[in-house]
Amino acid sequence: MSALPPEALRTELAALVGAGQVFTDPADTERYEQGARYGDGKAALVVRPGSAAEVAAVVHYCAVHGVPLIPQGANTGLVAASTPDSSGTQVVMSLERLRGEIEVDRANRTATVGAGVTLQDLNERLAQDGLCFPIDLGANPTIGGMIATNTGGSRLIRYGDVRHNLLGLEAVLADPPGQVLDLMSGLRKNNTGYDLKQLFVGTGGTGAVVTRAVLQVHPLPRQTATALIVPTGQDAILDLLIALEGEFGDFLTAYEGISQAAMQSVLDHVPGTANPFAPEPVPGYALLVELSSTASRELLGVDLQQALNDFLERQFETLVTNAVLDGGADLWKIRHSISESIRQQGKLIAFDIAVPRSSMVAFRTDALAMLQRDFPWLRLFDFGHWGDGGCHFNIVWPHEATPAFDADTVEKLRVAIYDLVVRGYGGSFSAEHGVGPYNERFYHRYTGPAVQAYAGRIQKAMDPHGALGRVWFGPAPAP
Amino acid sequence: MSALPPEALRTELAALVGAGQVFTDPADTERYEQGARYGDGKAALVVRPGSAAEVAAVVHYCAVHGVPLIPQGANTGLVAASTPDSSGTQVVMSLERLRGEIEVDRANRTATVGAGVTLQDLNERLAQDGLCFPIDLGANPTIGGMIATNTGGSRLIRYGDVRHNLLGLEAVLADPPGQVLDLMSGLRKNNTGYDLKQLFVGTGGTGAVVTRAVLQVHPLPRQTATALIVPTGQDAILDLLIALEGEFGDFLTAYEGISQAAMQSVLDHVPGTANPFAPEPVPGYALLVELSSTASRELLGVDLQQALNDFLERQFETLVTNAVLDGGADLWKIRHSISESIRQQGKLIAFDIAVPRSSMVAFRTDALAMLQRDFPWLRLFDFGHWGDGGCHFNIVWPHEATPAFDADTVEKLRVAIYDLVVRGYGGSFSAEHGVGPYNERFYHRYTGPAVQAYAGRIQKAMDPHGALGRVWFGPAPAP
């Protein structure tokens, strides 16, 4: 907790970054204090350094004075890792000013970016060179936030996550406070000791603040094919995935499941959407397949959509009972509107989970049975990334339901689902969103004591005084 | 250094793993003591545990008694990281018995393997399911050794390195001594705190001993196309790479450069090889392109070889002056015989380096000029992975040369080349082979003090008493 009087803190940080970049007025600080899904903290103030040197100065100052510091990107995170607690003593350090020019090295197929550059800005710049950074998300985070979260998204099956596309970074360390670590390699092969940048990926702003990065980028696809498929049954889903990977492994960019409830919710609540299977009813389960290729139709000799259509025709009746071909934008609109639509049905209880792909059917079957038995008034609107085992197992407590919403029951539900995921199927209680204060209790519940002890040992080595970030990965309680 | 008398050490380790698995007779220990390229140490003994529990017992025993322990896989490493020093006090722990059954999860597209399984055994098992682990190397290492080295190989441009395909592992920690850490996730998405397995990838057997792993595997290609191309000049090499990635990004699996000297060396010394360009002379520089696809000819509508041929025809005279089409096995034989052939020309001075792809032409030009100016009696036989920036910049000191071979001059040459690579072009002095005792002096020369300090801090947290492995990544000298 800060021992400094608020006015002194403000004055001294203003001396480091300029008076115009330190905010204390609630009208200015509010958007940095409330998380996108959880958390409604109160910051001592918000500081916006404009360079790595200013970040270093702020980190050093706060560490020396014992002021807790929370790094923040675009504040699109879903686990409250980048927003302050309610004490009013934590300083939020927004990194949104760390932009500068995006440097594209065409021959190296890399982009060098400031941590404050947004995904959208990066992709607009890359498109000028026929390139993209293909981590596909609903939100528009900063690159620094994507690194701190190790975001995955809908196209992980093809491109991997942020970790797989991160060639280098620059970080300001919690300890020695404000030390800049230059790991700005643009190399794909470099085995010269610890790959230290891995310590700053997916660790939610603990240990260090990422200020710049070198990213591997990819050619923009020149052909895309989509289909929305009704499998013959749950058991066909994995067989179809295996068949698609065998036939189209080079091209398969997404394999997304959409439950009947999720699709119906979109059709009921999102203007401009229609049942793609009409006049047939909305199917019990549907799979959105996307293929894409950098090769042109001329080069391949085949239209990718036609190849997908032909493939599906061969699977008809064995694995597939119906399919809507092409219509990519409309199909993706349904997929991307699910989260928005289900919020209108009641209180959203979101689960960002993963299991091995081979366990997805069994997990879903078990979880549905458990919900019907123990929480029959809740409604499931699940959808997920079958290609990578991720699943947004989202549940709604309807406004009109009996019993009325209560937090204790929600916690029991969370534990019941996560127990099944982690203990029943060796899965993850946070596939894409990270730990953060919101998931910290589940981290301690599901992470083995040896792993927690080792993580704590590493975190202690990186940040002995807990200067940065909000999560302690060692054994609870914090030392 | 061991304080135990050798006989006590032998007896006590035999009690842990069985008397038949502790070797002291030089006839038995020799193959574990001499490295594949460097190092000719002497072990106190060799111990071969047969399970993770036995590994844990050996690590615990050696740590408690202060006996230095060197984990070893198939002993194919090239930097002496897994062979003992000359003191006769270090124990080599061979992990070759950690095999057991290879478990293939077809729907999860993963294989669970013991650390002692070899790459070849794994790929033979996977082929039964139409799968492969596509890290392509000349040697036949164990999976544990591949993880400890983070091997890359010729097809990194398409599949990434070991780190990119490692979903989980089990490790026995140096500290707490013999503690087993279970990180055996088969998950592609799992952001639940530190990804601790990253600490054991590419770190040369320090910190922990990997005993098992979960690997992401890939469908076997069903079509392959190759061509050996003569570019119009050095400047065309990168333009051709950009064009290939734009046209065939989905399919490009290798883009390997072969210098004139390297190809001539193969033709002169390796039976069964012939100049693919005859009656034209061996070209000044050639590029081996490989495309591959899991899609069949029927599915794609085009033969991949035909597509490559058509593409090259369109590049004729602008980027390409000549090309040998198809003949994949013969072309790869030339590529894979280079190392063997150049050993016959004199003393090999090997360089395993990388620079950003965009700097490869400039680096090579500078390095050639430097060699001609300062070391005109040496002969360069370079070949490399232009797709990922890696280069085996191998030099031979001919037997018949004047001046005669001397180690001081070799060291000056090493420093001259590495200075150019690292300081001139932001490259790596060890792209694929790791650090090891052999490269430790270069690690300390080329790694910035802040990075060394941080690496030492992490290594100290993982192994406070230096129980495992041969390299200290902190600032020299060792504490």
CB of B192 within 8 Å of a chain A CB? The answer is: yes
Residue B49: give the domain boundaries. Answer: 6-94
CB of A425 within 8 Å of a chain B CB? The answer is: no
**How close A60 comes to chain B (CA, Å)?**
16
For chain A, the three-class secondary structure string (H helix, E strand, C coil) is CCCCCHHHHHHHHHHHHCHHHEECCHHHHHHHHECCCCCECCEEEEECCCCHHHHHHHHHHHHHCCCCEEEECCCCCCCCCCCCCCCCCEEEEECCCCCCCCEEECCCCEEEEECCCEHHHHHHHHHCCCEECCCCCCCCCEHHHHHHHCCCCCCHHHHCCHHHHEEEEEEEECCCCCCEEEECCCCCCCCCCCCHHHHHCCCCCCCEEEEEEEEECEECCCEEEEEEEEECCHHHHHHHHHHHHHHHCCCEEEEEEEEHHHHHHHHHHCCCCCCCCCCCCCCCEEEEEEEEECCCHHHHCCCHHHHHHHHHHHHECCCEEEEEECCHHHHHHHHHCHHHHHHCCEEEECCEEECCHHHHHHHHHHHHHHHHHHCCCCEECCEEECCCCEEECCEEEECCCCCCCCHHHHHHHHHHHHHHHHHHHCCECCCCCCCHHHHHHHHHHHCCHHHHHHHHHHHHHHCCCCCECCCCCCCCCCC
Q: Does residue B141 lie within any of the structural domains?
A: yes
Mean pLDDT, rounded, for B174-190: 97
Query: Is there a contact between B148 and B202 (Cβ–Cβ < 8 Å)?
Result: yes
Contact B294 A426 (CB under 8 A): no
Q: Does residue A462 lie within any of the structural domains?
A: no
Same domain membership, residue B398 and residue B361: yes
Contact B203 A194 (CB under 8 A): yes
Contact A191 B149 (CB under 8 A): yes
Peptide bond into B68 cis (omega under 30): no
Q: Does residue A83 lie within any of the structural domains?
A: yes
Q: What is the pLDDT of residues A294-317, one digit of tens each?
A: 887 777 778 899 999 999 999 998
CA-based nearest residue in chain B for residue A198: B198
Q: How far is CA A300 from CA A22, B224, B296, in A?
A: 56, 14, 12
Last residue of a domain, one of A395, A410, A425: A425
Token reading at B165: 């395909």
Residue B90 has pLDDT above 80, yes or no: yes
CATH number (domain holding residue B401): 3.30.70.2740
At B138, the pLDDT band (50, 70, 90 cuts) reads confident
Q: What is the pLDDT of residues A280-290, one digit of tens each?
A: 999 999 999 99
Same domain membership, residue A411 and residue A360: yes
B310 interaction partners in chain A (CB closer than 8 Å): 299
- Residue A383's Cβ-side half-sphere holds a number of Cα atoms within 13 Å equal to 27
**How close B139 comes to chain A (CA, Å)?**
18
Mean residue pLDDT of chain A comes to: 94
Same domain membership, residue B411 and residue B367: yes
Q: What is the pLDDT of residues A50-70, one digit of tens each?
A: 999 999 999 999 999 999 999
Contact A454 B196 (CB under 8 A): yes
Residue with tokens 């070391």: B375
CA-based nearest residue in chain B for residue A426: B185
Contact B187 A242 (CB under 8 A): no
Choose from B188, B239, B438, B472 for mutation: most chain A CBs within 10 A. Answer: B188
37-66 in B: which are within 8 Å (CB) of A?
none
At B478, the pLDDT band (50, 70, 90 cuts) reads low
B301 interaction partners in chain A (CB closer than 8 Å): 300-302, 307
CB-nearest partner of A302 from B195, B201, B301: B301
Residue B250 has pLDDT above 60, yes or no: yes
Same domain membership, residue A133 and residue A43: no
Contact B156 A188 (CB under 8 A): yes
322-341 in A: which are within 8 Å (CB) of B?
none
Contact B388 A454 (CB under 8 A): no
Same domain membership, residue B142 and residue B176: yes
Query: Is there a contact between B258 and B338 (Cβ–Cβ < 8 Å)?
Result: yes
Q: What is the pLDDT of residues B346-374, one digit of tens each?
A: 999 999 999 999 999 999 999 999 999 99
Mean pLDDT, rounded, for A214-240: 95
90-119 in B: which are within 8 Å (CB) of A?
105-110
B235 interaction partners in chain A (CB closer than 8 Å): none
A384 interaction partners in chain B (CB closer than 8 Å): none
Last residue of a domain, one of B70, B94, B118: B94
Query: Is there a contact between B23 and B45 (Cβ–Cβ < 8 Å)?
Result: yes
Number of domains into which chain B is organized: 4
CB of A363 within 8 Å of a chain B CB? The answer is: no
Contact B161 A433 (CB under 8 A): no
Residues whose CB falls within 8 Å of the CB of residue B166, separated by 6 or more in sequence, listed in order: B147, B197, B201, B213, B214, B215, B216
CB-nearest partner of A150 from B110, B191, B385: B191
CB of B250 within 8 Å of a chain A CB? The answer is: yes
Choose from A136, A137, A191 for mutation: most chain B CBs within 10 A. Answer: A191
Q: Does residue B400 lie within any of the structural domains?
A: yes
Token reading at B274: 């012939």
CB of B196 within 8 Å of a chain A CB? The answer is: yes
CATH number (domain holding residue B298): 3.30.70.2190
Last residue of a domain, one of A307, A338, A369: A338
Q: How much of chain A exceeds pLDDT 70, in percent? A: 99
Same domain membership, residue B199 and residue B134: yes
Q: Which of these ranges, A159-173, B1-15, B299-313, B437-451, has the smallest mean pLDDT?
A: B1-15
**How close B126 comes to chain A (CA, Å)?**
14
Residue B1 has pLDDT above 70, yes or no: no
Same domain membership, residue A390 and residue A330: no
B458 interaction partners in chain A (CB closer than 8 Å): 194, 196, 199, 458, 461-462
H-helix or E-strand containing B450? helix B449-462
- pLDDT the model gives residue A3: 56
Same domain membership, residue B232 and residue B298: yes
Residue A292 has pLDDT above 70, yes or no: yes
Q: Which of these ranges, B46-55, B298-307, B393-402, has the smallest mean pLDDT?
A: B298-307
- pLDDT the model gives residue B3: 57
Residue A450 has pLDDT above 60, yes or no: yes
Contact A195 B443 (CB under 8 A): no
B194 interaction partners in chain A (CB closer than 8 Å): 199, 202-203, 455, 458-459, 473
Q: Does residue A153 lie within any of the structural domains?
A: yes
Same domain membership, residue B143 and residue B68: no
Q: How much of chain A exceeds pLDDT 90, in percent? A: 88
CB-nearest partner of A186 from B180, B247, B356: B356
Q: Does residue A447 lie within any of the structural domains?
A: no
Q: Which of A297, A303, A282, A161 is nearest to A226 (CA)?
A: A303
Q: Give the whole-angstrom CA distance, residue B400 versus residue B418.
A: 26
CB of A416 within 8 Å of a chain B CB? The answer is: no
CB of B296 within 8 Å of a chain A CB? The answer is: yes
Contact B451 A307 (CB under 8 A): no
Contact A189 B156 (CB under 8 A): yes
Same domain membership, residue A229 and residue A213: no
Q: What is the pLDDT of residues B6-61, one digit of tens each?
A: 899 999 999 999 999 999 999 999 999 998 888 789 999 999 999 999 999 999 99
Contact A294 B250 (CB under 8 A): yes
Q: Does residue A478 lie within any of the structural domains?
A: no
CATH number (domain holding residue B143): 3.30.465.10
Same domain membership, residue A358 and residue A413: yes
Query: Is there a contact between B107 and A357 (Cβ–Cβ < 8 Å)?
Result: yes
Contact B246 A130 (CB under 8 A): yes
151-170 in B: which are within 8 Å (CB) of A?
152, 156-157, 160-161, 163-164
Contact A181 B454 (CB under 8 A): yes
Q: What is the pLDDT of residues A71-100, one digit of tens each?
A: 999 999 999 999 999 999 999 999 999 998
CB-nearest partner of A238 from B107, B203, B357: B107
Q: What is the pLDDT of residues A319-349, one digit of tens each?
A: 999 999 977 778 889 998 998 899 888 999 9
B434 interaction partners in chain A (CB closer than 8 Å): 191-192
CB-nearest partner of B194 from A293, A429, A455: A455
At A1, the pLDDT band (50, 70, 90 cuts) reads very low
Q: What is the pLDDT of residues A143-171, one digit of tens each?
A: 999 999 999 988 999 999 999 999 999 99
Same domain membership, residue A241 and residue A154: no
CA-based nearest residue in chain B for residue A186: B356
Q: Does residue A352 lie within any of the structural domains?
A: yes
Token reading at A292: 């894409």
CB of B246 within 8 Å of a chain A CB? The answer is: yes
**How close B43 comes to chain A (CA, Å)?**
25
- pLDDT the model gives residue A347: 94
B181 interaction partners in chain A (CB closer than 8 Å): 450-451, 454
CATH number (domain holding residue B45): 3.30.43.10
- pLDDT the model gives residue A478: 56
Residue A254 has pLDDT above 90, yes or no: yes
CA-based nearest residue in chain B for residue A309: B299
